[in-house]
Amino acid sequence: MNLSAYQDELDWIASQQQAMLNATSELALINSGTLNVDGIDRVGERLLQYCAPLEAEQKRIDLPPLEEIDERGELRNRPVGRAIRLRKNPQAERQILLCGHLDTVFSPEDPFQNLNWLNANRLGGPGVTDMKGGLVIMIHALMALERSVYARELGWTVIFNPDEEVGSPCSDILITEAAHQAQLGLVFEPALPDGSFAGERKGSGNFTLVMRGRAAHAGRDIGSGRNAVRALCDFISALDNLNGQREGVTINPARFHGGGPLNQVPDLAVARFNVRTRKREDEHWIQQQLNLLSAKINERNGLSLHIHGGFTRPPKQLTPAAHELSALLAECGSALDIPVRWTATGGCCDGNNIAAQGIPVIDTLGAEGGGIHSSEEFLIVDSLSRRAQLTALLLFSLARGQLDYQLWPQLNR
Ligand SMILES: [Zn+2]
């Protein structure tokens, strides 16, 4: 691949390194933990300002609330904040979708709220890598495209969603709808810790178990009680025993809440678990097992179990079109001297949901760094402009049609 046609734009990105770092730092200092609606709105506000030079059609979109089962086993609705959609060149023949999330895993109560330099090229901070740096990379790559002569050849939609860290339950509809209008997807999650890109990804589901029994005095009348804690422990043991029974499927019972005074037989217990899958059929298998196990518990007199939740991330498997897109990215990487390697991962993201719509997706185009989802999170600072150049080169190549469109699903218009 000859870079000379793109050199001006690539040089422009290099000149933006300090501006990219400033923007990343500014975004990281605004807390936008999932469900911190004010913080998420403020991050959205800043992003719209950064995106102004793109002259795209902008829209803030209200989402349905997050449905959560609380510790009393009751359904609660919680607002997640607004998503943002940007569109440019909707008339272009080639259409792509770019996604990034506004939220982080750090709530306003978390002690990790500030930036700290670990060395000249490592900046620690909440969300610097996952994924405020990624958002800045995406915007600068798009700015480079829009400055170039290839801009008119590629139409794009950007979705910034506020609920990715809890599985995008409220924004999934928006992403799915946008994926239907696009021929491929790009997501700006961080590179894997060794700098590689995520290939296949496992699917994921989150479930809540609500066990109700019957309260009784522990001393006077224990026999008439039905102990919800014991029953739910039995269920969870049986559930955990499913680990190892089907290749690629894992179950993690993660949280438990139940009981009350020590002289009372507990009538309520709530537990939560996560399931990871390798194939779409695994979801059906898990559902069957859950039905069998809950039927057994519900046979017991005076006890009832309800299972809430479900699968939010289908497994992402690599299609021929995905391989072709990966090969194009590798070509871009080798022209820029950026190694492009692929690793399968058990982690999942919005790339899973986009791939489930039948279009190829690359979902780790964001910043390099490490320690994400912990107070050790850090950004490799010079990766900002490097990775923006990589995405920009991919965008130029897509705009110029350097991908075999035979393999791409045709747009339904
Ligand atoms: Zn992320």
Domain ranges of the chain: 4-201+315-407, 203-313
Active site residue 337: no
pLDDT confidence tier of residue 372, bands split at 50, 70 and 90: very high
Ligand 1 centroid to 164 CA: how many Å? 7
Ligand 1 centroid to 187 CA: how many Å? 9
Span 76-97, mean pLDDT? 96
Span 13-32, mean pLDDT? 98
Percent above pLDDT 70 for the chain:
98
Does 278 score more than 80 pLDDT?
A: yes
Span 44-55, mean pLDDT? 98
Ligand 1 centroid to 349 CA: how many Å? 7
Ligand 1 centroid to 304 CA: how many Å? 37
Ligand 1 centroid to 14 CA: how many Å? 25
Nearest-CA neighbor of 20 among 145, 142, 149, 158?
142
Ligand 1 centroid to 245 CA: how many Å? 30
Q: What is the pLDDT of residues 350-370, one digit of tens each?
A: 999 999 999 999 999 999 999
Report pLDDT for 376. 98
Report pLDDT for 354. 96
pLDDT confidence tier of residue 405, bands split at 50, 70 and 90: low
Span 324-330, mean pLDDT? 95
Report pLDDT for 406. 58
Report pLDDT for 413. 34
Report pLDDT for 43. 98
Q: Do domains 4-201+315-407 and 203-313 have the same CATH topology?
A: no
Give the CA angle between residues 228, 232, 236 to the nearest 5°: 175
Ligand 1 centroid to 189 CA: how many Å? 5
Question: Of 9, 41, 103, 153, which is the active-site residue?
Answer: 103
Least confident of 113-122, 147-156, 215-224, 403-412: 403-412
Q: What is the pLDDT of residues 232-244, one digit of tens each?
A: 999 999 999 999 9
Report pLDDT for 412. 44
Active site residue 103: yes
Single-letter amino acid code for the residue at 79: P
Report pLDDT for 408. 56
Span 4-25, mean pLDDT? 98
Instruction: Out of 3.40.50.620, 3.40.630.10, 2.60.40.10, 3.60.20.10, select the CATH number for domain 4-201+315-407.
Output: 3.40.630.10
CATH number for the domain formed by residue range(s) 203-313: 3.30.70.360
Is the model more confident about 72 or about 412? 72
Question: Of 9, 130, 153, 164, which is the active-site residue?
Answer: 164
Report pLDDT for 193. 87
pLDDT confidence tier of residue 411, bands split at 50, 70 and 90: low
Can you spell out the DSSP letters for 206-274?
Answer: EEEEEEE-B--BTTT-GGG-B-HHHHHHHHHHHHHTTTTSSTT-EEEEEEEEE---TTB---EEEEEEE
92 is written with which tokens?
Answer: 């272009």
Q: Alpha-carbon distance 397 to 150, whole Å?
A: 9
How high is the mean pLDDT of the chain?
95
Nearest-CA neighbor of 158 among 183, 134, 139?
139
Does 168 score more than 60 pLDDT?
A: yes
pLDDT confidence tier of residue 285, bands split at 50, 70 and 90: very high
Report the phi/psi class of residue 119: left, alpha or beta, with left for phi > 0 and alpha for psi in -120 to 50.
beta
Span 264-280, mean pLDDT? 97
Span 389-405, mean pLDDT? 91
For 285, counting Cβ atoms within 10 Å of its Cβ (0-12 exposed, 13-18 middle, 19+ buried), the class is middle
Contact 141, 391 (CB under 8 A): yes
Ligand 1 centroid to 346 CA: how many Å? 14
